[in-house]
Amino acid sequence: KVAAKIKPDDIHFARTRLLSLENTHNGKVLPRDYLQQAWDFTRERGLALHVDGARIFNAVVAYGCELKEIAQYCDTFTICLSK
């Protein structure tokens, strides 16, 4: 579904350059393999991958890992210390 939404390089369209994910989303943690697949998907298409990590530490606890193990699949991510 995501691949179909990528706009072609055409002067009549804004070019797609970024895929943004939220982890966690509605209290649910994205599966780790989904992050790896999203990373591979963006590499194949020349896109950047951003993870909105307002609640990223919930994902860290759920995965039982360190933040760097999630961050390795992102070009950028955000952290929020108030949530």
User: Between the ranges 25-29, 55-59, 61-65, where is the mean pLDDT highest?
Assistant: 61-65
What is the tally of structural domains in the chain? 1
Q: What is the mean pLDDT of residues 3-20?
A: 88
Range of the domain at 39: 18-77
59 near 30, Cβ under 8 Å?
yes
* Residue 9 placed within a domain: no
Per the prediction, the chain carries an average pLDDT of 90
Is 34 inside a domain boundary?
yes
Question: Mean pLDDT throughout 49-68?
Answer: 91
Q: What letters, b where the CB count within 10 A reaches 16 and e where it falls short, cover 45-78?
A: eebebbbbbbbbbbbbeebeeeeeebeebbeebe
